[in-house]
Chains A and B, each alone.
Chain A
Amino acid sequence: DQQVKQNSPSLSVQEGRISILNCDYTNSMFDYFLWYKKYPAEGPTFLISISSIKDKNEDGRFTVFLNKSAKHLSLHIVPSQPGDSAVYFCAASVRGYQKVTFGTGTKLQVIP
């Protein structure tokens, strides 16, 4: 049972435009959400997170939005740059428990 779902395996965006990556979850106990970025032949690196007490968190070009009622979060990248081309993983956890559940990933390609 996939508790964290990323339904788009891939996404292509023109440089300078907005990239929107989506993530849905089914476990209502999740209250902490993270996005990781992964380049080929490297380990994932942490990008941005959000707690369930917030609905938005920004860090430079990256913004994560959380809609608890819809059990949906999204990552916005504005403006998109070719160096953003990578696989993006959504992840979720229950505060107080260290186990993190990852989605299947979305491969973003930013076209120059």
Chain B
Amino acid sequence: NAGVTQTPKFQVLKTGQSMTLQCAQDMNHEYMSWYRQDPGMGLRLIHYSVGAGITDQGEVPNGYNVSRSTTEDFPLRLLSAAPSQTSVYFCASSYSGVGAYEQYFGPGTRLTVT
């Protein structure tokens, strides 16, 4: 049971480049989400999904796209990278339902945009 996996661990992009951050979970969780962590800002929700085919925006969705074609995978796409997107990105998953809000987080992807 690998839990939540994220690839890559580190990435350097030039301004304007696009890329996809991968996230997968093997716990059959319905809910998956993407957060970014910046100094002094805590964890901010980018996008989330409550099941395959269903996604919605979080607090800071601009510049990012997501899709959820399977229960296991929830990739995050940066359309045209900007220096403001330099951050650490975490993917998380959990069961849906009453009392089941504890999220399992991946190890993170550290992204630098130059």
Contacts and interface: CB of A to CB of B under 8 A. Distances in A.
B22 to A, nearest CB: 15
A46 B92 CA distance: 11
Contacts of B40: 9, 104
Interface string A19-62: 00000000000001010100001111110010100000000000
Interface in B28-68: 31, 33, 35, 40-45, 48, 50, 58-59
A44 B3 CA distance: 13
Contact of B4 (A4, A41, A43, A99): A43
Interface residues of A, number: 27
Interface residues of B, number: 28
Contact of B42 (A45, A46, A95, A104): A104
B103 A46 contact: yes
B90 A46 contact: no
B88 to A, nearest CB: 9
Interface of B: 4, 31, 33, 35, 40-45, 48, 50, 58-59, 90, 92, 94, 96, 98-99, 101-108
Please provide the 10 A-B residue pairs with the shortest distance between their CB atoms, ordered closest to farther. Answer: A43-B105, A104-B42, A102-B43, A46-B102, A102-B42, A98-B31, A44-B105, A43-B107, A43-B106, A43-B90
27 contacts: A6-B42, A9-B40, A32-B101, A36-B105, A41-B108, A43-B4, A43-B90, A43-B105, A43-B107, A43-B108, A46-B102, A46-B103, A46-B104, A49-B102, A51-B99, A89-B42, A89-B43, A95-B98, A98-B33, A98-B96, A99-B45, A99-B48, A99-B58, A101-B59, A102-B44, A102-B45, A104-B40
